[in-house]
Amino acid sequence: MKALSDLENNDISIEKEISLTDYSTMRLRSQGTIVKIKSKEALIQVIQKLAKHQIKYLVIGNGSNLLLKEVEPSPLLKLEFPFERKILETVSLSYNLPAAIHLSLLVKAAMSLGLKGWEALAGIPASLGGAVAMNAGTALGEICQIVEMVKIINSKGEEKVLNVSPVDFKYRGNNFLQEGDVIYEVTLKHLGIEASLKDTILHYLQKRTAEQPLDKKTCGSVFKNIKSEGVTCAAGHYIDIMGMKGFSKNGISVSSKHANFFENEEGGTYSDMVSMMEYVRGELYLQFGKRFDPEVKS
Ligand SMILES: Cc1cc2nc3c(=O)[nH]c(=O)nc-3n(C[C@H](O)[C@H](O)[C@H](O)COP(=O)(O)OP(=O)(O)OC[C@H]3O[C@@H](n4cnc5c(N)ncnc54)[C@H](O)[C@@H]3O)c2cc1C
């Protein structure tokens, strides 16, 4: 990544042609370049430089919904802005938070302060930016219910401030991000204070541990559920009916705990995962006439 070499400083570090395997929760074997960025000004500098050289990039949060290729053609941009944890120790009307922070910190704050609406984030192993980009959610709600404002740097290196509400989001996505937009800050509100929130969250986390293969290398739900006219067709349910739990191919297996989670048994690659996804998707169509779209990104 010669184009960026002269940008390295305290706020920008570039690691070239390294193993990227540990940057995603599925840990597919991958190699490439990662640019770690610690401030907004540094992010603008990096994006402007990449734009000048017409180099595409991929933003990575916690890598919990990303399939990284054997050789990643684009540099990964990873935000590492500093964060003052103290702001999560008191109740405020809203919180300005860096996109890089892990949702587990927010769930911890929700439990101790009773921040209603934040229970929706329980158990999702994501960064805040990734969760907003994906409109992450659980049986307890979706992040769109508590997002007030999103600050981004666009693909030209320009700063944009977007006031958003639930109508700006969709199931596992949003309607406001353009290609190359990087969320660097998010303002979250809460929906009131609820003393019993901690119990709700702990109960829900227990249920997830029982139902999902949280100790395995996965990327969460592989396929989106199909939602139409108020009815949800859960991809995992249909894969389960086909008897595919435990089915394994080239080191990737359908989890025997939750059929919409695929596990990387050892050394699996992007191609192995894509071929497994195509196979299962094809079977779903043959058996039920339903086309399930991937939830995971690449
Ligand atoms: C065990 C497990 C359980 C999971 N459970 C759930 C669940 O209950 N509900 C749910 O919704 N998801 C779940 N997921 C999937 C995943 O956690 C979510 O999709 C999450 O929102 C991804 O966040 P991330 O930070 O890991 O993003 P990444 O996986 O790094 O990236 C996902 C997408 O967001 C983009 N992105 C990331 N950061 C930014 C940014 N700062 N600005 C712009 N774009 C960005 C990436 O380019 C990519 O397109 C689960 C995953 C695992 C492994």
Same domain, 160 and 243: no
Q: Please report, for the domain that includes residue 220, its CATH number.
A: 3.90.78.10
Same domain, 177 and 97: yes
Last residue of one domain, picked from the residues 28, 63, 79: 79
* Overall size of the chain counted in residues: 298
pLDDT, one tens digit per residue, over 149-186 is 999 999 999 999 999 999 999 999 999 999 999 999 99
Q: Would you say residue 295 lies in a domain?
A: no
Pocket probe for ligand 1: among 62, 64, 175, the residue whose CB has the most ligand atoms within 8 Å is 64
ipTM above threshold 0.90: yes
Verify whether ligand 1 is closer than 6 Å to residue 61 (CB atom). yes
Tell how far the Cα of 210 is from the centroid of ligand 1, in angstroms.
21
Same domain, 107 and 15: no
pLDDT, one tens digit per residue, over 237-276 is 999 999 999 999 999 999 999 999 999 998 999 999 999 9
pLDDT, one tens digit per residue, over 240-251 is 999 999 999 999
Verify whether ligand 1 is closer than 6 Å to residue 268 (CB atom). no
Q: Would you say residue 104 lies in a domain?
A: yes
How many structural domains is the chain composed of?
A: 3
Ligand 1, atom 33, residue with closest C-alpha = 130
Verify whether ligand 1 is closer than 6 Å to residue 99 (CB atom). yes
Same domain, 190 and 99: yes
Tell how far the Cα of 219 is from the centroid of ligand 1, in angstroms.
9
Same domain, 144 and 183: yes
Same domain, 191 and 89: yes
pLDDT, one tens digit per residue, over 83-117 is 999 999 999 999 999 999 999 999 999 999 999 99
Give residue 218's domain range.
213-288
